[in-house]
Structure 1
């Protein structure tokens, strides 16, 4: 029981501000991968519920702006760092050690700035559209799918690790962990919109996984920045899929 609690608090403290960050043994941190989707569920519930029950209803731009700000606050903007760093490396067309020097450079380059603008504005626009349609469930699910995408990416990259925090996560991305998150994704996606939502979610997710895996293969390894970028891709994909699904009739969403 203590191990379960420790792995959960390790995950919560690493991914959010909802638990104090602490030092854990490597095997505890690796086991935290089991909880990524659950932490996404907690984040989605905390951030979306106030708006779902009526706070600022009818003002979707303000709702979207507040939700995006809340997400950045609760997660410390953790995943956006990897998103920007990876785009800097990708956009540079560098290879070998030079690619990793760019990715690990704490300074943002032009491609990183462009990625942040596109990603943040994309989330704001997608949240606005879903709030306007009162399709709160798709926004809630984005937090689950983002963390699940991190697990899937870690699973694909577990044999291409580099030293660092990302290696511990990839070590914990076992087949049972990946299957658990796949079941979680399919369960919530089906409840929200059946095949009309499951299909675009899986397609968009697969595109992201393919690109991340291909980039890792090209440069011989994957690190924590790949995992952070996977979270952002997953969140964007879940909300974009929600907008696509809203074009169909007969949806079930809340």
Structure 2
């Protein structure tokens, strides 16, 4: 029952699909992140697998991207844009994080949002056209697995906020299990090469985000959102290589 409560809390925090939980134990929710990704992925992909937008892969992929955005409240995409803005500023330390917290979007944040939405639509359309609909379900699993991997690499770099509350939950065991879950989802959905390419691309993102966090001396929830969005894109791209 405890695991079920943590799953529901993570589902409500990361998506609109679960109940809102007051003051959840964020560290205890971390092992459930890939399960939340699987739930979200199935909600988004099953209608497409049942024939919605059949014969119109671009429209289906657009619906997938918009549905992903709506069901996550744009939470992760906001982090992706914030990290891009701060990275593009070429500042360091507190100034870097001040730019990240600024509610105004800059040029790099705008470009990041365009890349994410166009990327999900274009890659998703190619996968639907190739009959690989279940990779669209696996991508959210891979994205959240990558976020847990980033937490595991940066447990000592927490800054005040929800992100720091998650970090203690990314123990070595949890991190390995979440990565394995993401790889298994990609393998089941697209085969060995999809899993291998998805893992390779996610590894590059993990390396760069970890290096950026260490260079700036901290990690917050925006980094985790960026990892989720980037991980989803890597998983979709990996299925086409």
For 2:13, the equivalent position in structure 1 comes to: 14
Displacement of 1:6 in angstroms is: 2.4
Q: How many residues align?
A: 241
Q: Is residue 84 from structure 1 mapped to residue 93 from structure 2 by the alignment?
A: no
Deviation at 1:54, TM superposition (A): 1.2
CA RMSD of aligned residues (A): 1.2
Counterpart Cα distance in 1 of 2:121 and 2:225: 19
CA distance in 1, matches of 2:11, 2:183: 23
- Report how far residue 148 of structure 1 moved: 0.6
The answer to whether residue 133 in structure 2 is matched with residue 149 in structure 1 is no
Q: Name stretches of at least 5 consecutive residues in structure 2 with no aligned partner.
A: none
What pairs with 1:237-248 in structure 2 (closer than 5 Å)?
237-244=234-241
| Cα distance in 2, alignment partners of residues 43 and 23 from structure 1 | 21
Q: In the alignment, what sits opposite 2:28?
A: 31
* Secondary structure at the counterpart of residue 116 of structure 1: helix
Shift of 1:196: 1.6
Q: TM-score, normalised by structure 1?
A: 0.92
1:49-80 deviation digits (Å, cap 9, x = unpaired):
11111112100111011111111111111100
Q: Distance in 2 between matches of 1:17 and 1:107?
A: 24
Written as runs of structure 1 = structure 2, the 5 A alignment for 1:39-50 is: 39-50=36-47
Residues 10 and 24 in structure 1, CA contact (< 8 A), matched pair in contact too? no
Match of 1:159 in 2: 156
SS of residue in 2 equivalent to 1:243: coil
Q: Report the counterpart of residue 96 of structure 2 in structure 1.
A: 99
For residues 145-168 of structure 1, the C-alpha deviation after alignment (integer angstroms, 9 at most, x for no partner) is: 011111111111111110110001
Unaligned runs of 5+ in 1: 245-254
Q: Deviation at 1:236?
A: 0.1
Residue 189 (structure 1) shift: 2.5
- How far 1:106 moved relative to its partner? 1.0
